[in-house]
Amino acid sequence: MESMNTLSGIATELPSPGGLSNADEALLQGVSPLRRRLKRGESVYASGREFEAIYVVHSGFFKTSIVHADGRSQVAGFHMRGDLLGIDGMATEAYTMDAVALENSEVLVISQAAMERLGMMLQRAICVEVARAHRMMLLLGTLRAEERFAAFLLHLSHAFLARGYSPHEFNLRMTRHEIGSFLGLKFETVSRLFSRFHDQGLIAVQHKHVRLLDMGGLRALMNGGGGNLQLAPEPPKA
């Protein structure tokens, strides 16, 4: 692992609404997080391991999974640049999920000592993460299969837009099995939804590359079963 000179570089990483204040910038001085590189398939931490740090995704893509008592693993979320990993371990002093890199990636390691120095800035970032996870949980818990899939694609679109990438086309780092695990759908259902959305002109799919052709249609489909559900503001048209 490599150390950064200061934590000021993390300012653009943390999912903070409205950016950092002057007081936040002052808090960053003198705190030196480590950079940890991980290869595809490597774990950041495992369920049951003693809590020692939280992690900010600097590059790459990750999944977090819950391991049930019977050994089954269920994907709890997907994470990209700026997302926090490890906050599940803060309350119990042990991580409750597995976090695994889906491609060669890098995280910034925020030790417990650094957490204390970051104070309110880190608290706001954690609140953003918790609120986002809660919003996705509510959406996925109230939608039918095709509505969940549309919500998932729109969520990815907004996540890429927020990081300066195209909201209309991107490569999926996760497998269809992992998407199904996250959405609570069978692999066969996910495959059928990819084909159906493609045939309906909502998306174009080539291997793992996806283009969203009809954002309005996806939003209408997501909202079809339960009122006006708002995942995020609509990205500008290409």
Domains of the chain: 2-133 (2.60.120.10), 143-225 (1.10.10.10)
Answer yes or no: is pLDDT of 225 > 60. Answer: no
- Does 213 have pLDDT greater than 60? yes
Q: Please enumerate in sequence order all residues whose Cβ is within 8 A of that of 96, keeping only pairs 6 or more positions apart, or say none.
A: 47, 66, 88, 89
Better-predicted residue by pLDDT, 29 or 127: 127
**pLDDT one-digit tens code per residue, 45-71:** 999 999 999 898 889 999 999 988 888
Range of lowest pLDDT (37-41, 73-77, 134-138, 147-151): 134-138
Q: How far apart are CA 11 and CA 19, in angstroms?
A: 8
In this prediction the pTM is 0.80
Alpha-carbon torsion, ordered 154, 157, 158, 160, to 10 deg: 160
- Mean local confidence (pLDDT), 14-37: 53
CB 25 within 8 A of CB 50: no
90 token code pair: 């803060």
How far, in Å, CA of 173 to CA of 163, rounded?
Answer: 16
